[in-house]
Amino acid sequence: MSGKIYIVGIGPGSKEYLTLKAIECVKNSDYTVGSTRAIELFSDVKNTIAFNVKELLDKLEEGVDLAINGNTVSILSTGDPGFSGVLNTVLRISKEKGFSHENIEVIPGISSLQLAAARNHIQWDSANVMTFHGRENIEDILDVINNGKLTIALPSRKVKDMAQFLLDNGVSEDRPVTVCERLSYDDEKIVSSTLKDIAKSEFTYMCIMVIESEN
């Protein structure tokens, strides 16, 4: 008998942003697959399969195999699974292994993008929303950066490199930029400055960039 997979969004990282639905899915699952940091958010969890970035694909495959063997499996994804999350990867693996997508349920989570928008009082339906996570080709941002709208971006590389790329491509050094780092964690940091200054600053990889529209 086939099992079930929940692809569970866990929000930006702090417990406060977990949904009741995410907690319920994990509680009702035989196995929970996720990064150690993600698994630690849950107090009621049965068997765990923790992974680091290098092991991601192997562990996702293990999760799908467990579901094929009749188990209920929660696969945890930071933020929302459908925004630079594991959704497409799990769907692909499931398809390859013949696990029906009918037995997969996606549980949305609060994306880091949404929290960045909220922190900065941004109505994000009118912003350029871009993700460069896992992509080396970041030229696409140049198509929108001067279209009169504010841009919210998940950088593909270090924030300072992304800022330097924009400077190298003619964006004004005085363009206001806000970097939202480690949102929802105790050491959350929100820095508002100019593109020129951001290109000289160090941040961790866990950042969202909010780039104001040109005047």
Ligand X SMILES: C[S@@+](CC[C@H](N)C(=O)[O-])C[C@H]1O[C@@H](n2cnc3c(N)ncnc32)[C@H](O)[C@@H]1O
Binding site for ligand X (CB under 6 A): 12-13, 77-80, 83-85, 111-113, 133, 154, 180, 182-184, 205-208
CB of 44 to ligand X, least distance (A): 23
Q: How far is the CB of 183 from ligand X (least distance, A)?
A: 3
Residue whose CB is less far from ligand X, 93 or 208: 208
Q: What is the DSSP letter of 13?
A: S
Between 14 and 172, CB nearer to ligand X: 14
* Length of the chain in terms of residues written: 215
- 200 vs 103: CA distance, rounded Å: 48
Of 89, 74, 85, which Cα lies nearest the Cα of 41?
Answer: 74
Shortest approach of ligand X to residue 90 CB, angstroms? Answer: 13
Residues with Cβ within 8 Å of residue 149, at least 6 apart in sequence: 126, 127, 128, 213
Would you say 63 or 109 has its CB closer to ligand X? 109
Least Å distance, CB 125 to ligand X, is 16
When the beta carbons of 68 and 159 are compared against ligand X, the nearer one is 159
Nearest to 95, CA basis, from 48, 60, 49, 52: 60
Q: How far is the CB of 170 from ligand X (least distance, A)?
A: 24
What CA dihedral angle connects 192, 193, 195 and 197, to 10 degrees?
-130
Question: Which residue is closest to ligand X by CB?
Answer: 79
Of 13 and 34, CB closest to ligand X: 13
| C-alpha–C-alpha distance, residues 76 and 79, integer Å | 9
Using DSSP bridges, classify how beta strands 72-77 and 104-107 pair: parallel, antiparallel or unpaired: unpaired
By beta-carbon proximity to ligand X, the closer residue of 28 and 88 is: 88
Minimal distance in Å, beta carbon 81 to ligand X? 7
The token duo for 88 is 């497409």
Cα separation of 185 and 94, whole Å? Answer: 33
